[in-house]
């Protein structure tokens, strides 16, 4: 949801987003009273919430201790089938936001962020109104937390060397020398392998997955003393919500799934066809709309001609991260245009801009593309890449196949370049072979709610459109 919100801010003007605070003002990743060491011992007790100062930029006008309460929840790092196994403790960073007049309903809303790996707390000052408005209107408190391995929770499975490398490679140069696609892929793989070796010195990568996170949510509900809660998940957050529904249905009153990521799909193999279908719908919709077609005729041809031209003749542009103000030189090619279009299609409020953006780029105007690229950089800067890999390598890649992925790409040659040399494409198959994340059980793919127990009624809560 963060990326969609950043995109909306970009196209409506960042001043409409409510705050001038930057990501650099949020709590750092170094040790502090609110940034404990990776594995905890001593005075911390599993499942007992420890109140603490809020380690993030507060939304404008909020008073800590009145409008929002913060703390850290110690949970076991090691889980088996959603149950605590014992051993070392890790911490979840938690914030509870209350309606201005106080909650009138006993069941709060817990928001589950996407990614996997995206921190919600580091950017809550930006997203607060978007998340709180519908929840407060229903008289409920809003609970947000950084999932295990993410953001302000500890440990955070960050890969700082990879993040720095990604910025250094925006211009596709090393020490002033242009480098090939293969060299870039090798550098990315080496960086993430280094990250993995660094992480396994202090954490068990196989413990950072959706089943463990679902158990964390169960512990959080108990620690806060709620009988029932409502879940609100977006993107990967819907996958986590489904896992909570499977393991802990008794905790739930209702569940809202925004942009469902179901467990029975093969994310990587199905992605090219899904993207191609989305592009086709975009082009068809514009052609059928007299206003769009008049302003942007033959959109499909213009788009793919522009992709081909940029792949042949990339352009160097200056890209600014809207959260930090930092600027970078980036070489924009056709595959980058594909990737950015993929992201733009996520938000229905933004996708209406896409025909104009395509035409602007085809005529040499990169203004909107630069802003969208900056939003993508911003999203990456607050994502825990190691957590993303641990989740996907544990529960997605064991049920996928590199050969099938390659065969699928070949069916979509116009967009194939976007998936080559990317950890969101072919590189993740190589990384997951050595990431030490373990393999999920098949039931997580089938997402059956105790259907294997004869005579027991399935207890999945229905999706609802609001907090009635």
Going by the DSSP 8-state scheme, the letter that residue 23 receives in this structure is G
DSSP helix/strand/coil, 3: helix
Q: What's the pLDDT at 83? A: 57
- Angle subtended at Cα 357 by Cα 356 and Cα 358, rounded to the nearest 5 degrees: 90
Q: What is the pLDDT of residues 153-192, one digit of tens each?
A: 999 999 999 999 999 999 998 888 899 999 999 999 999 9
243: Cβ–Cβ under 8 A, 6 or more apart, which residues?
A: 210, 211, 213, 214, 263, 444, 447
Return the higher-pLDDT residue of 293 and 260.
293
pLDDT band at 443 (very low <50, low <70, confident <90, very high): low
pLDDT of residue 30: 34
Q: How far apart are CA 26 and CA 318, in angstroms?
A: 25
Which of 80-94, 144-158, 356-370, 400-414 is predicted least confidently?
Answer: 80-94
Q: Give 202 or 382, the one with higher predicted confidence.
A: 202
Where does 200-264 have alpha helices with state H? Answer: 210-224, 236-247
Q: Can you tell me the distance from the alpha carbon of 185 to that of 335, in angstroms, rounded to the nearest whole number?
A: 15
Q: Which of 276, 275, 239, 278 is nearest to 255 (CA)?
A: 239
- Please report which confidence band the pLDDT of residue 309 belongs to, taking 50, 70 and 90 as the band edges: very high
Cβ-proximal residues to 254 (8 Å cutoff; 6+ apart), any chain: 230, 231, 461, 462, 463, 464, 467
Q: Strand 173-174 vs strand 229-234: parallel, antiparallel, or unpaired?
A: unpaired
Best CA proximity match to 25, nearest among 159, 145, 125, 130: 125
Residue 75 tokens read as: 């949970």
State residue 7's pLDDT score: 55
Angle at 182 between CA 334 and CA 391, to 5 degrees: 85
Quick one: pLDDT at residue 144? 97
Q: What is the largest CA-CA distance in the chain?
A: 69
Domains of the chain (ranges; CATH) run 47-155+208-264 (3.40.50.1820), 267-432 (no CATH)
Q: Which two tokens stand for residue 370?
A: 């630069």
Residue 42 reports pLDDT greater than 50: no
What is the Cα–Cα distance from 419 to 416, expressed in whole angstroms? 6
- State the number of CA atoms in the 13 A half-sphere of 237 facing the CB: 25
Residues in the chain: 468
373, 369, 389: which is closest to 381 by C-alpha?
A: 373
Number of H helices, E strands in the chain: 16, 11
**Cα separation, 152 vs 36, whole angstroms:** 10
> Could you tell me if 121 and 144 are in contact, meaning their C-beta atoms sit under 8 angstroms apart?
yes
Query: What local confidence, expressed as pLDDT, does residue 81 receive?
Result: 57
Query: What's the first-to-final CA gap in the chain, in angstroms?
Result: 23
CB 461 within 8 A of CB 129: no
């Amino acid at each position: 949801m963060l990326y969609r919100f950043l995109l909306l801010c970009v196209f409506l003007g960042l001043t409409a987003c409510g705050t001038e605070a930057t990501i650099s003002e949020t709590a750092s990743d170094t040790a502090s009273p609110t940034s404990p060491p990776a594995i905890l011992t001593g005075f911390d007790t599993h499942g007992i919430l420890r109140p603490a100062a809020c380690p993030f930029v507060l939304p404008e006008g909020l008073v800590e201790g009145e409008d929002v309460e913060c703390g850290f929840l110690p949970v076991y790092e090691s889980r088996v089938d959603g149950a605590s196994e014992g051993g070392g403790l890790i911490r979840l960073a938690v914030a509870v936001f209350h309606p201005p007049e106080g909650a009138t309903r006993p069941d709060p809303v817990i928001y589950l962020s996407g990614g996997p790996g995206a921190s919600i707390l580091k950017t809550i000052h930006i997203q607060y109104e978007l998340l709180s408005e519908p929840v407060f209107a229903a008289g409920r408190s809003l609970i947000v937390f950084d999932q295990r391995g993410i953001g302000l929770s500890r440990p955070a499975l960050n890969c700082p060397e990879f993040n720095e490398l990604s910025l250094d490679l925006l211009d596709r140069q090393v020490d002033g020398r242009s480098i090939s696609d293969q060299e870039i892929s090798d550098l990315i793989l080496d960086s993430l392998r280094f990250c993995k070796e660094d992480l396994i010195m202090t954490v068990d990568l196989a413990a950072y997955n959706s089943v463990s996170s679902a158990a964390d949510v169960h512990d959080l509900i108990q620690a806060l003393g709620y009988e029932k809660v409502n879940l609100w998940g977006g993107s990967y957050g819907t996958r986590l919500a489904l896992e909570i529904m499977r393991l802990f249905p008794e905790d739930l009153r209702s569940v809202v799934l925004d942009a469902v990521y179901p467990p029975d799909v093969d994310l990587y193999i199905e992605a090219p066809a899904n993207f191609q279908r989305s592009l086709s719908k975009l082009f068809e919709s514009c052609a059928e709309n007299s206003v769009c077609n008049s302003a942007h005729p033959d959109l499909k041809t213009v788009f793919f001609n522009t992709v081909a031209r940029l792949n042949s003749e990339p352009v160097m542009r200056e890209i600014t991260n809207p959260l930090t103000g930092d600027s970078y030189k980036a070489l924009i090619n056709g595959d980058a245009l594909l990737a950015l279009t993929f992201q733009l299609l996520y938000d229905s409020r933004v996708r209406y801009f896409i025909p104009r953006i395509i035409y602007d780029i085809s005529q040499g105007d990169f203004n909107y593309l630069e802003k969208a690229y900056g939003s993508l950089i911003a999203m990456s800067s607050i994502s825990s890449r190691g957590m993303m890999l641990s989740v996907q390598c544990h529960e997605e890649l064991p049920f996928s196949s590199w050969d099938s992925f390659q065969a699928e790409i070949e069916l979509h040659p116009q967009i194939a370049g976007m998936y080559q040399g990317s950890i969101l494409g072919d590189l993740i198959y190589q990384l997951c072979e050595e990431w030490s994340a373990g393999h999920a059980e098949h039931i997580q793919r089938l997402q059956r709610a105790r259907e294997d127990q004869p005579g027991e009624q399935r207890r999945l809560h229905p999706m609802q459109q609001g907090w009635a």
